[in-house]
Structure 1
Amino acid sequence: MGEQTRDLIVVGASAGGVEALREFAGGLPGNLDAAVLVVLHLPPGGASALPAILARSGPLPVETAVHELSLEHGRIYVAPPDHHLLVRDGRMQLSRGPTENGYRPAVDVLFRSAAQAHGDGVIGVVLSGSLDDGSAGLASIKSRGGLALVQDPGDALYPGMPESALARVAVDQVLSANEMGAVLGGLVREPTNGGSGPPSRLEEVEDRIARAESAIGIGIPEVVDVSQPSGLACPDCHGVLFTVDELHSRYRCRVGHAWTAQALLEQQSKDVEHALWAALRALEEKRDLARRMSRNAREHGFGYVAERYTRHHDEASGAADTLRRYLLGGSLLPGGANEEPPGESA
């Protein structure tokens, strides 16, 4: 049996990720002795142009990941929209398991799966993106003996993901996106110990959830069996969130939606904004209706009733003006402004 090497590279990116991935793919050697799996956070609808973009950017062939397709060295596989990408027994698997931080595919799902399937034979790469996606998954790779590479935050269009990884994980190298290819060409030839310990109960649960496998009758615990209620609610299904990782501040609900604290805070801010816009609409409708009723009462000689509706009008009008000024101030989301969503470009 031949010596085991680091022959699986998993890459995660979000906002600004297309540009970073183009640089990354352009630097990879044409004789790379590893398979490369890529997750870019994408909206669920439509087809992804990323495989075609990356195929034009570097020497390696690029294709969309296919369920149960065997991994081949010297190829890049891209997660399709609305499907998690996982690894098992040298094959890719696709699932429509619950979203993580609102995304499917999700970077952490790929990273955790690769760590469990390939142990110290994995190299994890975090590229441009906002918030803290990928940090927990990169920590899983490191905990099982794999290597962690992170894009230099100064080289990233959105430094949030690289900065979070650097703050939470003992990263092996920090490089610009176009420098990583040459470095990886050498790292994949390094021998490994060829093994790692069995997964924890939590890792079993999270792997089952991501693969959309039922726990009924197979002896695997559920989220409620391996964690404690957090007192927070899931933005996706409004169920109770359970704390599954204190170190990285991660939460899951009973049905499997996963959130980091940072992503949860941003989503809650968005939910508050949506609720406030709905409240503004209701106040303006109340103002207009009260004005109409006041006019009608006055026309029919009911002066006292007209004054009462006028007070309702004035109160609603004042509250609506105050709320509108607050909403247009742009201070609802963390940091005071929306992050640009991830996307693709040619």
Structure 2
Amino acid sequence: MTVQRDLVVIGASAGGVEALRQVVRSLSPDFPAAVLVVMHLAPGAPTALPQILSRAGPLRAVPATHAGPLTKGVIHVAPPDHHLLVDEGALMLSHGPTENGHRPAINATFRSAAVAAGSRAIGVILSGALHDGAVGLDAVLERGGLAMVQDPADALYPGMPESALARVHTEHVYPADVLGKVLDRLVRAPAGAGPAEPPSPALLLEDRIARDGVRRGAVAEELAAAASGYSCPDCQGALLELGQQTGEYRCRLGHAWSAEALLTARDAELERALWTALRSLDEKATLADRMQRDATGRGLAGLTGRYENTARECGAAAETLRRFLLSLSQEPEANP
């Protein structure tokens, strides 16, 4: 028995608004599938994305609501600080653990679509940085769905499309303005019977984590996971390396990280630590200088020299660290 591909999940991040506008502009008014859109948003930040997408094309775009209907011909947009999931033909909003520091996370929505719709799902990756969406797109393919990726050469930020293509093979790689037209054709073509096997235990567990969090020890017990030696940037707990997904990590609370996202988080963590060190050196130098003046006024020659040396050493160290930190924010010179 054949089925139609009636669930489209689209993930985007940096540079993704314009790509999304180009995709939805090409969709027909009678588009016969529901569309879920996930874009990385800061928690609590207002978003005009539903209004932007409604104006860009013929389909109505609305903020996704918990337990709301999954409606064909409607674009459901993930709200800030919630994963957008599918639950028995309805939408589900979850405050589950972040993935790669994001909530909503593209991987969470794609995995949910893979579990719920199987071969009826189409996953689409647009412009964005880093890796979010690659693992989820792999899950869509694993369950018999289709994968589509914006051509990295067409993306303002090619990181997400490149990461997706490094992980999955798909013939559907197009510029954003072409991708929408092809998508409109694909949802009208029979999808085939799809895989007979149910979702893997690993996929079901990760989908459950996004919905409900993770019970104590579940990651270690139910996934082939080993201690990685790294800590989680979100909670500082130990990260486990998932056995079936090289370079993918989860902590016991369920926070998920790719190796690339973890490296980027370490960059931010290091910079925060260096600024803290600079502040401490500045304060120590200022305090030592004040104590040196006080000792001089009281005629305590031995203490005067000690405090003077401390102030000089801290000042020199602070200046070196200050120059390094300022160099991090300088724009690289253009290649000749």
Residues 173-195 of structure 1, C-alpha deviations (whole Å, 9 max, x = no match): 11111111211111112222334
Letter in 2 for 1:222: A
25-34 or 101-110, larger mean C-alpha shift? 25-34
Alignment of 1:258-337 (within 5 A): 258-330=256-328
Counterpart position of 2:124: 125
2:185 pairs with 1:199: no
In the alignment, the residues of structure 2 paired with residue 34 and residue 245 of structure 1 have an alpha-carbon distance, to the nearest angstrom, of: 35
Distance 1:312 1:336 in 2: 35
| Segment drifting more, 207-216 vs 147-156 | 207-216
Output the aligned Cα RMSD. Answer: 1.9
Determine the structure 1 residue equivalent to 2:219.
223
Partner in structure 2 of residue 184 of structure 1: 183
- The residue matched to 2:315 in structure 1 has which SS? helix
| Letter of the 1:321 counterpart | E
Residues 176/248 of structure 1: CA separation in 2 closer, same or farther (3 Å cut): farther
1:256 aligned to which of 226, 250, 254: 254
Q: From the superposition, tell whether residues 265 and 213 of structure 1 become closer, same or farther in structure 2 (CA, over 3 Å).
A: closer
- 1:210 is matched with 210
How many residues in Structure 1 have an aligned counterpart in Structure 2?
Answer: 330
- CA–CA distance in structure 1, aligned partners of residues 265 and 131 of structure 2: 13
How do 1:1-346 and structure 2 match up within 5 A? 3-196=2-195, 197-212=197-212, 215=215, 222-225=218-221, 226=223, 227-244=225-242, 247-330=245-328
Letter in 1 for 2:230: L
So what's the TM-score if we normalise by structure 2?
A: 0.94
Q: 1:281-339, CA deviations, whole angstroms, 9 ceiling, x for partnerless residues? A: 0000000011100011011101111000011011101110111111111189xx989xx
Q: Runs of 5+ in structure 2 lacking a partner?
A: none
Q: Label 1:213 to 1:289 Cα distance change in 2 as closer, same or farther (>3 A).
A: closer
Following superposition, the deviation at residue 199 of structure 1 comes to: 2.1
* Alpha-carbon shift at residue 37 of structure 1 (Å): 0.4
Contact kept, 8 Å, 1:79 with 1:105, in 2: the verdict is: yes
Which 5+ residue runs of structure 1 have no aligned equivalent?
Answer: 338-346
Q: Which residue of 2 aligns with 1:342?
A: none
Instruction: Provide the C-alpha distance between the structure 1 equivalents of 2:60 and 2:134, rounded to a whole number of angstroms.
Output: 28
Alpha-carbon distance in structure 1 between the residues aligned to 2:245 and 2:102: 22
Q: Is the 8 A contact 2:2 2:192 kept in 1?
A: no
Residue type of the alignment partner of 1:42 = L
Q: CA deviation at 1:215?
A: 4.5
CA displacement at 1:245 relative to structure 2: 5.1
Partner of 1:340: none
More deviation, 112-121/207-216: 207-216
% same residue: 52
Deviations 1:189-248 (A, max 9, x none): 2222334322222222211110025648xxxx7101121111110000000001125545
Code of the aligned partner of 1:287: A
Q: For residues 162 and 40 of structure 2, what CA distance do their matches in structure 1 show?
A: 18
Q: Which runs of 4+ in 1 moved over 2 A?
A: 192-196, 213-216, 245-248
Structure 2 equivalent of residue 341 of structure 1: none
The 1-side partners of 2:270 and 2:64 are apart by 37
Aligned partners of 1:173 and 1:199: how far apart in 2? 24
